[in-house]
Structure 1
Amino acid sequence: MGTIILALGLVLIFEGFLFVIAPDRVEDLLEHFRQMPVEARRLVGLIALTVGLALISMALALA
């Protein structure tokens, strides 16, 4: 359970940091995603999910 809380905290820090340093760029990125076809957004999500799982696996293997 502690790992899940840590992961959520890291996500919130990262996303908050993006909104602090470049809020206009975040809006541009969201608009770009809105214009993408649904299948392309799913592919981006699948890639992000895969990379995230790989990073978690690596972190757990190193711990």
Structure 2
Amino acid sequence: MSTILLALGLVMIIEGLAYALAPSLIERMLEMLRSLPETAVRQMGLLIAVSGLILVWAAWQLGGV
């Protein structure tokens, strides 16, 4: 459970820093996402989720989790 809280906290830190340091960049990225077809956004989300899963698996194998 503590690992999940750690991961969630790290995601929140990174997301918060992105919004705090580059809000205009976030706004432009959201506009760009709105112009993409829904299937492309869905595929991008799936790719990011699988990449995250691979990183978690790699950390687990290295003994970091």
TM band (smaller chain): over 0.9
Higher RCO (CA-CA < 8 Å; seq separation 6+): 2
What TM-score does the superposition give when structure 1 sets the normalisation length?
Answer: 0.94
Instruction: Show the counterpart of 1:31.
Output: 31
Q: Which has the higher helix share?
A: 1
What TM-score does the superposition give when structure 2 sets the normalisation length?
Answer: 0.91
Quick one: percent identity of the two aligned structures? 44
Instruction: Show the counterpart of 1:56.
Output: 56
The CA RMSD measured in Å over matched residues stands at 0.7
1:17-46 deviation per Cα after TM superposition (whole angstroms, max 9, x unaligned) = 111111000000011111110000001001
Instruction: Give the C-alpha shift of residue 55 in structure 1.
Output: 0.4
Q: Any gaps of 5 or more consecutive residues in structure 1? A: none
Runs of 4+ in 1 over 2 A off after TM superposition: none
Distance 1:12 1:18 in 2: 10
Q: Any gaps of 5 or more consecutive residues in structure 2? A: none
Instruction: Show the counterpart of 1:47.
Output: 47
Instruction: Show the counterpart of 2:5.
Output: 5
Distance 1:43 1:60 in 2: 26
